Structure 1
Amino acid sequence: MLGEKISELRKARGLSQYQLADKLGFSRGKLSNYEQGSRQPDYETLKTLAEFFDVSTDYLLGRSEDKKPIHIAFSHGDDPLTEEEEAFLERQLEEFRNLRKKFEQQDK
């Protein structure tokens, strides 16, 4: 999963393994191993990849399909939000953003 994501993101940027490895300060072999899944990056390398591609580490690891998941910092008193509440708020925010884009396009 991780290797597929790295390869997909690299190709979307039009970069060869050599070019990406150079930009990140890796060897091409190391990057190739990540993409093939024969080697797993350490935490710092995972962060470097996420920052370079401007995606979340959750996206790279296959834990989320959202490239940039929403980080909700709401709570209800001392009670943290449940996963269901967070999911609801994320859906509402996504709907709001879609509506805003629609209205912005209409104003042009």
Structure 2
Amino acid sequence: MFGRRLAELRNHKGMSQYELADRLQLSRGQIANYEQGTREPDFQTLIRLADFFEVSLDYMLNRTDTPNSLRLTGETLLLNESEAEYLQATLTLFRKYKHKQG
């Protein structure tokens, strides 16, 4: 399960196993082992992966299907932290405006 999630996130970013390994200073073999489910990352590596992909540890560990996502008209969009913050601020302003309109 974790391996599938890792591969999904990596593919979503359009990265190869080599590229991800290089960015996180891991070996390509480690990434392959994680994705195949033959090995699991240690806690610090798990945190680095979650931070890199800007998702929660719960999402990385398949405890939730919501990374930082937004569901619009049947399509789920994966959002990074800055996108989520921007949309939250915009929604807050919109709600204040609508409230004033009464």
Question: Do the two structures share a fold, i.e. TM-score over 0.5?
Answer: yes
1:37 aligns with 2:33: no
State the 4+ residue runs in structure 1 displaced beyond 2 angstroms: none
Q: Find the structure with the greater CA-based Rg.
A: 1
Partner of 1:52: 52
Amino acid in structure 1 at the alignment position of 2:60: L
Q: Distance in 2 between matches of 1:55 and 1:17?
A: 18
Partner of 1:67: 67
**Cα shift readout 1:37-76 (whole Å, capped 9, x = no counterpart):** 000011000000000000001001000111049xxxxxxx
**Cα shift readout 1:5-54 (whole Å, capped 9, x = no counterpart):** 11000001010000000000000001100000000011000000000000
Aligned residues: 75
Partner of 1:88: none
Unaligned runs of 5+ in 2: 70-87, 96-102
Q: Distance in 2 between matches of 1:28 and 1:12?
A: 18
Partner of 2:18: 18
Percent identity of equivalent pairs: 50
Structure with the higher strand share, 1 or 2: 2
Q: Distance in 1 between matches of 2:18 and 2:52?
A: 15
